[in-house]
Structure 1
Amino acid sequence: MSSTYLYSEELKSIIDSFYTKIKHPYLQKYIEDPQIDADQAVILYMMLKEKKVDQAYISQCILTTILVQAALDTHEQVSVDELQNETNRKKRQLKVLAGDYYSSLYYSVLSKVDDVTLIKVLAKSIQEINESKMNVYKNKIKKIQAGFDDVRTIDTSLLRNIANMLQMSEWKNVIEEFFFLKRLLKERFLWLDKGMKGSLVDMLLYEVSETDKNTEYRGQLLARFDRHIEVTKDKLLHISKDWVVNATFLQKRVHELLVENKYEHWVMEEG
């Protein structure tokens, strides 16, 4: 975890409680624990601290949000391909059960919180995320270009809707641009380093002409990735100039993302 995240023992305690809560000896024998998106937890923590809500609410809100995210992420990892191997079939079944288990944990936490508004916000977010995932999947099957809006919804709906609930609309643009930059950098790195094609790679390939696809499309695709990265990065840095309270965090984290995903390295190498 980056040094950016080490400033708060309070947040670390909440994350530790998440891993304690999801522990299940049988599941752990076959599947890995879900990984928290630390940026999601930190940004939610910063919003709640800025709003000056009490510690109990901070803990419950973050814990339920990352449990929801864990359930969504785990269900997304379930393969739809036909599996011949019995061990792999068992792992797939357990991933479905694990996602359901994490969902039940978040319902359990929510049942102890007298906050109907938060329950509605999380339910709305889950619906939006699942609808956008279906759009991306459907368009991929039909070979139709999906929209970036669906990717943004998948990555940010939980935080955007909580920002709305807290009446902190100024955070929404930051959240959208930050997580879009993070997705762009991660998918670019995985494509260059491991040949993995994520949702954005598929989308950007639709912008490459058929002629280029049949010859050398690597340069065309990289150029499109880099254009989106530079535009999004510039938007975030511009926002940070007027966002005095959290400017340092935002600028530092953007720099860390560029380093983590070897963006400067690849740009220099390709250049």
Structure 2
Amino acid sequence: MGTDRNAYSQEIKAIIEDIQDRIQQTYVQQYVDVPAMAENRLALLFFFLHENGFTKERAHLLSVATGLVQLGIDTHETVRNHYEKTLVSERNRQLTVLAGDYYSSLYYNMLSDANEIEAIRILSVGNQHAHEMKMKLYIAQKENKLTQETYLGLRKKIDTALYVAFVDKYATSDSVREFWTSLFEQTSAFEQLVGEWEHLHWQEQAPSGLTQFLLQKPGSTVTNVVDMIEGKVMELLHICEQLIVTLKSGETQSELAWVTSRYTNRVQRLKRAEEM
């Protein structure tokens, strides 16, 4: 991709703004906590598509469509199993489900209008795979058979299913497929865990994800869970950086390092906050 980091950053900003414009619904936003965009995964998807021969315009279109499906998946995941038995709680639950359905449906018309039939199929396959992995995770939790390794493995598959579906279709070789699949999975794992680390530090919300799983273990404390999460975050950051170093193209390394530099900034900000 013959562009500098700033131009790449602007491309990603345009994708996020396009998604935000398409999901504007005042009533939904009033009652539903809309999840954050999967910005880094979308940045990597745009880069992958453009590197593999897609025009910027087409890579933008497919990235926006993927972001809409991802937002639908993420919104559905915010639906809790138990709500207070009040009219407001029931309305919020129903609206959250409907919002997830609405976000997911937007991609179909968008891609149909552009005659991107193959992209519709790819996203359908990815969406199906994500839900299959969510079912496996749910069953493992219900049967009390969930381990830390199983949780992280399934979580990575859920969070990257849409993007890996494009990699499986358009990667030009097995080595390219392996690189991009690994990069998506390792970066998504980093995003999840650094987010949990931030929530623990600033106590923005109740523990969730791996944090919740670890805190349920006998003898666990918030302090040792934070230490464990921090250690895993640093390990994943190193893995992501080393993956990018394996690339032969210096230009490609530089542009992908834009993503990992953002990760480094988040970690440094957390460490500074802990020292205060």
Question: What is the match of residue 180 of structure 2?
Answer: 171
For 1:28 and 1:154, the matched residues in 2 are separated by 25
Cα shift at 1:75:
1.3
Cα shift at 1:242:
2.2
Q: CA RMSD in A?
A: 2.7
Asked whether the equivalents of residues 129 and 153 of structure 1 are also in contact (C-alpha less than 8 Å), the reply is yes
Asked whether the equivalents of residues 122 and 166 of structure 2 are also in contact (C-alpha less than 8 Å), the reply is yes
Cα shift at 1:33:
4.6
Question: What is the match of residue 122 of structure 1?
Answer: 123
**TM-score, normalized by length of structure 1?**
0.82
Asked whether the equivalents of residues 16 and 64 of structure 2 are also in contact (C-alpha less than 8 Å), the reply is yes
Asked whether the equivalents of residues 83 and 89 of structure 2 are also in contact (C-alpha less than 8 Å), the reply is no
Cα shift at 1:70:
1.2
Cα shift at 1:249:
4.3
Q: How many residues are matched?
A: 260
Question: What is the match of residue 95 of structure 2?
Answer: 94
Distance 1:118 1:234, change over 3 A: same
For 1:191 and 1:162, the matched residues in 2 are separated by 34
Matches within 5 A, 1:1-271: 7-146=8-147, 147=150, 148-167=152-171, 168-169=176-177, 170-194=179-203, 196-204=206-214, 210=218, 212-213=219-220, 217-243=221-247, 244-261=250-267, 262-265=269-272
For 2:186 and 2:25, the matched residues in 1 are separated by 36
AA in 1 matched with 2:210: L
Distance 1:72 1:5, change over 3 A: farther
Structure 2, unmatched stretches of 5+, are none
For 1:81 and 1:268, the matched residues in 2 are separated by 38
Asked whether the equivalents of residues 5 and 38 of structure 1 are also in contact (C-alpha less than 8 Å), the reply is no
AA in 2 matched with 1:132: M
Q: Which moved more, 1:18-27 or 1:101-110?
A: 18-27
For 2:66 and 2:224, the matched residues in 1 are separated by 38
Distance 1:196 1:12, change over 3 A: same
Query: What SS does structure 1 have at the residue aligned with 2:82?
Result: coil
AA in 1 matched with 2:265: V
Cα shift at 1:173:
1.3
Q: Which moved more, 1:114-123 or 1:177-186?
A: 114-123
Cα shift at 1:153:
0.9
For 2:235 and 2:161, the matched residues in 1 are separated by 22
AA in 2 matched with 1:196: A
Asked whether the equivalents of residues 241 and 257 of structure 2 are also in contact (C-alpha less than 8 Å), the reply is yes
Cα shift at 1:64:
1.0
Distance 1:198 1:13, change over 3 A: same
Distance 1:6 1:193, change over 3 A: farther
**TM-score, normalized by length of structure 2?**
0.81
Q: Which protein has greater RCO, CA pairs closer than 8 Å, 6+ apart?
A: 2
Deviations 1:126-165 (A, max 9, x none): 1221222233333334433241211101221111221121
Asked whether the equivalents of residues 160 and 185 of structure 2 are also in contact (C-alpha less than 8 Å), the reply is yes
Asked whether the equivalents of residues 46 and 63 of structure 2 are also in contact (C-alpha less than 8 Å), the reply is yes
